[in-house]
Structure formats: structure tokens, C-alpha cells
Amino acid sequence: MGRITARRRVARYTVGERISVRDDHLAVEEPLEIRIGGSPLTMTMRTPGDDVELATGFLLSEGIVTSAEQVRAAMHCAPDGEENTYNVLDVTLDPVRAAVAADLTRAFTTTSACGLCGKSSIDAIRATSAFDLSNDDTVVDAEFIATLPVRLRGGQSAFEKTGGLHAAALFDAATGELLVLREDVGRHNAVDKVIGWALAAGRVAGSGLVLMVSGRASFELAQKAFMAGIPLLAAVSAPSSLAVEMAEDVGLGLVGFVRDNRMVVYAGAERVTNESAAQQRAVKARTA
């Protein structure tokens, strides 16, 4: 898998048994510096691969860009006088969006652990989004949502080797099709990568899309879904209180603990139906 995984010699211990030495696979983590027109904007720790999607998804989730046409070019470059390690990506934006990036005053320092921290005002985020989820009438059935964790897990090829990567995927709510799946050591990076794909594919605003993530639904992930116009976020684990608060405020459907045909709808219950269960009850009633 190239730079996505690395092989290392390890010692495996089992209490009361002999130590075994063997090769193991680790998820690769390397820094990526994102530049705009040659000027550094942010640094994130990520799993190499799909860096352009990661960068453009990040720019979208921060409100710096709102369409693919605003991104003129993106290329890896070498730090001055150094070998190209493909850990620096320079993005060229149209003049208007480049000016927006240049005017930013908040430091975009991120890590694979926390992502974009420090956003304290939901109102400020809502004001910067180009999309209004209240105009999105996407509704999905609980039976469909229940299938997403297995489908997500089935596409995690790097996780199979390492056990150390988060995943995010976009599904078409109307057809049920898995559109894109990305893995990364940072859950926020995995989401940025699928959002970057959606931007390039013309699926932003993300009307009719469902974002599924392999871990918890934190505030930052809810923010990214909203900024990309995605109406529903589902997660294998729990949401945070601020994620629920934001989802309620902006009209984002938020579903957590999607496991074994069960789930908890924390916000946007109008976006989730249980028609399959109603149909089953109707069939039983007719045959009784």
C-alpha cells in the first residue's frame, strides 16, 4: 500500500507462552503542510494519499472555498532547497478566495488527535457556510442506515492490515450507492478527503448524501458535514454534546451508535424513518 502502511518487526507477547517475533503493519503518519499560493496556511498529521482531496476538503470545511472552480491547481512541492518528500502541497485559488485565505487570523494548527479545535461559536460557523440545510428534504430509512457500518468496514483495506485507521464514506441516500471511502489516522482528515472528493465530483452542496464515520461524531465532524451541505451524519460511536447542539441548530441529521440494527437519532429525527418496520407490521397484520 505504499506510504499508507509501513512494515515493522515486532515481538508479540502472550502471558504464559513463548514470545513470537514477526512483521507487523503500521498506519503511516506524516505531516502535510498546506500552502496557498506559496504561503503556509496549516499543518496536519495525516496518512499520505489523496492529499489534494484532503486539502480542498479542509478549505471547504473552513469556508475558504465553496466550489471546485475556485481551486485553480494543486501540486506537491519541495521545501526550499530540500528533496520533495510529498509532504508539502501548494494550492492555487482564484484571486478572491486567495484573498479570503490571506485574511485568516486563526492559526490552523491541527493534529491527528484533535483536528480543528477551538471553534466556540456555532453562529459564526453557520454564518460562514454557503449552504442551508433547512432547504434539504433528504430522508432515509433506518434499515438503510443500519447497513452502513458493515459496508464501511468492508471497504477499509488499510485498517485490515493495521487496525489503526479511521474511515469516512459518502453514500447516495436515493440509490444507496457507496460513492467514496477514505481512510486516515485522523478522523477529521478522512472526512476532509471524502468532502474534497465530493467537491471535485460536483456533489457539493452535498444534498442527498449521507456521511458515515467509523468513530465518534465530534463537533468538528458535524461542522464539516454542515459546511459541505451534507444533511445527515451517522457514526458507529457516540456524538458529543456540542455536535448535537450544532446539528439541532443547523438542521443536520445526527445518528450515533449505529450497530447491530440499532441506532440513536440525536438530532433531525425527521430525516430518519422506520418504514421497513411499519411495512413488516402491516404484512403481519394482513396475514394474522
Catalytic residue among 45, 68, 104, 114: 114
User: What's the CA gap between 65 and 63, in Å, rounded?
Assistant: 5
Among this protein's residues, is 114 annotated catalytic? yes
User: What's the CA gap between 93 and 31, in Å, rounded?
Assistant: 22
User: What's the CA gap between 54 and 182, in Å, rounded?
Assistant: 10
Active centre residues (catalytic): 114
